[in-house]
Amino acid sequence: MLLITCPHCGPRAETEFRNGGEAGIVRPRDPAALSDGAWTGYVFTRQNPKGRFHERWCHAQGCGRWFTAVRDTVTDRFLSFHPAGEQPDEAGR
């Protein structure tokens, strides 16, 4: 089982959390103006990298807050945790 460090609650078991996929996806300001291709990209296209990945997690069975974690998808090792609104400092994803 993974230990995930909630920015508010500290290290907790993976079973308390829910994964929310890639972090930092910005909703387009005017969806109606988008082409079908651009909208498809927003809704479905994700990076799925091999290595560092910024992803959202929700401490569903704890404080209920969303936060961002940087995880290495090869080793499953977590590199950092950030409360909502805080940008992970390194761009490497």
Q: Provide, rounded to whole angstroms, the least separation between the CB of residue 6 and other proteins.
A: 8
Go through the chain and tell me how many residues it has: 93
Site residues (CB under 8 A) for other proteins, limited to 43-62: 60-62
Tokens of 54: 């910024």
Cβ-based burial of 66 (10 A; exposed 0-12, middle 13-18, buried ≥19): middle
Any idea which residue has 């929700």 for tokens?
58
Does 12 sit near other proteins (CB under 8 A)? yes
Number of residues this chain uses to bind other proteins (CB under 8 A): 14
Does 82 sit near other proteins (CB under 8 A)? no
Q: Which residues bind other proteins (CB under 8 A)?
A: 1, 8-10, 12-13, 15-16, 60-65
